[in-house]
Structure 1
Amino acid sequence: MLWNASNLTGYAIEATDGSIGSVVDFLFDDREWTIRWLVVDTGIWLSGRKVLLPPQAVATPEVPQRAIPANVTMQQVKDSPEIDTDTPVSRHHEGSLYGHYGWEPYWVGYPPVGAGLAPIPQPVETTPPITGEDEADEGDPHLRSTGEVTGYYIRAKDGDIGHVEEFLIDSDNWTIRYIVVDTRNWWPGKKVLIAPRAVTRVDWAEETVDVELTRDQVKNAPEYDPTQAVSRLYEERYYGYYGYPRYW
């Protein structure tokens, strides 16, 4: 199922023994366009502290309850390593979190995202594969915040074409399927989708997302209606228009 990232913001994270806070952001890898971490604001429970949870720890969002079940305990979250989520997250920090929860990190490959909730973990010693302390302490340049990238300009091969308005997240495997682009600065009222496969670069300094498309390609793409769910029929038109191989 595809979810607007902004709609998931505010969903409560329900641990096995109580609520631990609500989702305020997502951190994704801009090479694979996979959600690596859910950023959770613990509110008054932990004096406004923010914590990170990997997708392996959560189940499918529940719409009526506006909640996301998580297979961790409140005590585990309370005892997790404190990380400043407003600064770049380093591989060292990621390794310490996975070690705390007892799962092998995503760069090892288990548990697979989308395979369902993993068992409640037990703490183990886990260290990430790094080449040196300096590299371990540097922020991962490919780990991006959906909140930060929202608003970035989309730069086609022949000029700007709009800005990032939203991300559509597939909760089956916690990948970003589409970037929603608002093109109203260039022609009235149209919104379109761009698949991450078209992205060649995300530039923090210039706040741009470069794509391998031309402005005309984007302009003539199937229009996206944000009031309607993305249907498989629409996706077939979309992938047929760009000539992309289907992901399903």
Structure 2
Amino acid sequence: MLRSLKDIRGYILSALDGEIGCCKDFLFEDRAWVVRYIVADTLKWLPGRKVLISPMVVGDASASTRQIKVGLTKEQIKASPPLDSAAPVSRQYEIAYSRHYAMPHYWGGSAKWGSHAYPHLLAKEAAATHLPTETDADCNLRSAREVSGYRIQAKDTKIGHLDDLIMDYLSWTIRYLVIDTSNWLPAAKKVLVAWDWTGLVDYKRSRIMVNLDSNQIKESPEYDPRKPVNRELETVLYDYYGRPYYW
């Protein structure tokens, strides 16, 4: 269930009663690196509107039809709180969003999604058990498009740039960075680096530090975007770096 965000971008979003547009972007929390929302391009249906879709109401993402199922009606989405497309998503907006859809909020627990590991489990809880307040601290939600192209810095030198992010489609956790080494290696290739192996992310300088040596990355298994990231590939990757498996 590991999926490329670059690949999913552009999928049609199908509500319970019709299409609402397509997947334009993803917003992830910059501390936990968990995708919290799909940003929908509503095309001609709601021109000029920035619409967020929570993973709590998202179903399958079909590679054959390039569609994502959304468990909301078009009227529910149309009546959602308006969002300034030029402004960041605040905690106050998220509170209004969760109240509109009667959704439990995801923050405040010890797991990725409140007290759960997966958004679909959190969605089964009553919203009344998660009463968000105006005093909740702001989180920082980042755009996947924004970080695409960030420079990657190994322990000893620059090694390329961020080309894509690989997400666990069950937990919506970002598992891997896809690094394009074309501006560093003569024989350019793409490689995977687990998010757990990164260090500081400098959003002001558009740079991500990786806790690996450049030679390790240079000789690491090559990533082919045409092939799925499965457990076999993950095992080869973790064995190469001598890291304990996360699964």
Which residue of the partner structure matches residue 94 of structure 1? Answer: 94
Which AA in structure 2 matches 1:196? W
**C-alpha contact (below 8 Å) 1:56/1:112 kept by paired residues:** no
In the alignment, which residue of structure 1 is the partner of 2:48?
48
Q: Which residue of 1 aligns with 2:162?
A: 164
Cα distance change, pair 52–124 in 1 and its aligned pair in 2 (3 A) = farther
- For the 8 Å contact 1:57–1:117, the answer to whether it is kept is no
Report the Cα offset of residue 243 of structure 1: 2.4
How far off is 1:117 after superposition?
Answer: 9.4
Which runs of structure 2 are paired with 1:126-145 in the superposition (5 Å)? 126-128=131-133, 130=135, 140-141=139-140, 143-145=141-143
The Cα shift of 1:26 comes to: 0.4
1:236 aligns with 235
For 2:152, give the aligned amino acid. I
- When residues 192 and 73 of structure 1 are mapped into structure 2, their CA distance, relative to the original with a 3 A threshold, is same
**Distance (whole Å) between structure 2 residues aligned to residue 212 and residue 227 of structure 1:** 27
What SS does the corresponding residue of 2:212 show, helix, strand or coil?
Answer: coil
- Deviations along 1:130-179, one digit per CA (max 9) or x if unpaired, are 26xxx65xxx43x2111010000001121211100011122122121211
Following TM superposition, by how much is the alpha carbon of 1:25 offset from its aligned partner in structure 2, in angstroms? 0.3
| SS of residue paired to 1:115 | helix
What TM-score results when the alignment is normalised by the length of structure 1? 0.88
Q: Aligned residue for 1:77? A: 77
Displacement of 1:84 after TM fit?
Answer: 2.4
TM-score normalised by L of structure 2: 0.88
SS at match of 1:59: strand
1:118 Cα deviation after fit: 4.1
Unaligned runs of 5+ in 1: none
Q: How many residues align?
A: 241
| Partner SS state of residue 94, structure 2 | helix
Query: Which deviations, in whole Å up to 9, do the C-alpha atoms of 1:186-245 show, x marking residues without a partner?
Result: 112121101100121222210011111121221121111222222322211101122222
Match of 2:188 in 1: 189
SS for the counterpart of 1:94 is helix
Q: Deviations over 1:46-101 (max 9, x none)?
A: 12312111111101202222111111111111111111244321111112111111
The residue type equivalent to 2:3 in the other structure is W
Distance 1:86 1:240 in 2: 44
In the TM superposition, what are the counterparts of 1:92-131 in structure 2 within 5 Å?
92-108=92-108, 109=114, 113-115=118-120, 118=123, 126-128=131-133, 130=135
